[in-house]
Amino acid sequence: MIFVTSPYLPPIEKYMKYVEGIYDRNWLTNNGPLVKELTVRLEEKLGVQNLLLTSSGTMALQIAFKIKNLANKKVTTTPFTFQATYSALEWQGANVDFCDVNKSTWNLDSDLLEKQLASGHRPNCIVPVHTFGNPCNVEHLAKLQSQYGFDVIYDSAHAVTTKTDDGKSILEHGDINCFSLHATKLFHTVEGGGITFKEADELALAQKMINFGLDGEDAASPGINGKLSEFHAAMGLAILDDLSKIEEDRQQQKDLYLKLLESKVEFQQLPLDGKISPSYMPVLFNSETELLNTLSQFNDKGIYPRRYFHPAIHQMQCVKSQGKTWQLPIAEHISQRVLCLPLFFGQPKSQIEEICSFVK
């Protein structure tokens, strides 16, 4: 069987060297030396500052939303994303609204957002998503933030290695960036996530927050257990040296898909410059019927692509049950027609050719 992804595992000998150190120190969690090492090395690798590792990408979002105190605040996000983006906002008690996506980039449409703002819509915060690693229009969103004064928290779950056309990490934009280090991601710690902060004082607050709010033996404010363990950090360190190799391999696979499927399906529009994290291989069919027929044939052959992200968030039961309705035709249309094809390190060229033949 061929699944949409397959987690990368480093040589077990390399991982075990880190594990042996954990056994020697008998230090398993609570900001251990491997977590500290991974933090420093990731900052260097990605070119970022004020990075905090967490127990999951969803935990990263929850901490970010708590830092900005979004309970009962108006928040605008995209309907075309994974459920965690919305759930973390709902968990914090935010009043969530949606802005439709751009029909070409599939990201939150900053032009449409500008029209909403001009008409009187005033969110306290916006949460755009770099969908499938494709960067949002960060310059336009920064301009709108300056004009209207809202916070910007980016969900960068798929974009940990994405860079803009000036060569800078996408994680440098906005007030806070959250990303996932789940096993299905390009770079992972089995379970895990991370946050980068524009302001160092927010990093300091978050460091306490993920450790029950403790400052020494006292807690100035409530917190939660959101720490990354030493065993998870060990996996991250064992993989980090291979990250460039993983990216190169997956990018070659994407290039082959694009070549073989050119004119057969539509693709997400990407920036002309910059570097897009090769996290997914989404394709857009002409209709949902066409997608479903193709998916059925795939499954009959033991191939299991995935419909990221379907249904759109505002069409999920947990949102519809609140009695609110939104007119988001572009997100709905894209959500019905997008299929992510298998993409993972070491996938044979012949397998990609076989997959493309089914699509054709």
pLDDT digits (tens, 9 = 90+) for 222-264: 899 999 999 999 999 999 999 999 999 999 999 999 999 998 9
Whole-angstrom Cα distance, residue 145 to residue 136? 14
Per-residue pLDDT at 256: 98
Q: What is the mean pLDDT of each run of 10 residues along the chain (360 residues)?
A: 97 98 98 98 97 98 98 98 97 97 98 98 97 96 98 97 91 97 97 98 97 90 95 98 97 97 94 87 97 96 97 95 92 98 98 94
**How many Å apart are CA 354 and CA 337, to the nearest integer?**
21
Residues catalogued as catalytic? 185
pLDDT digits (tens, 9 = 90+) for 297-337: 999 999 999 999 999 999 999 999 988 899 999 999 999 99
What does the alpha-carbon distance between residue 23 and residue 78 come to, in Å, rounded to a whole number?
44
Cis before 222? omega within 30: no
**Residue 273, pLDDT score:** 74
**Can you give the pLDDT at residue 213?**
93
Domains and CATH numbers, the chain: 8-240 (3.40.640.10), 243-359 (3.90.1150.10)
The pLDDT assigned to 272 comes to 67
- Do the Cβ atoms of 111 and 139 come closer than 8 Å? no
What whole-number distance in Å separates Cα of residue 48 and Cα of residue 17? Answer: 27
Q: What is the pLDDT of residues 21-44, one digit of tens each?
A: 999 999 999 999 999 999 999 999
Q: Give backbone dihedrals phi and psi of 348, rounded to 5 degrees, phi first.
A: -65, 145
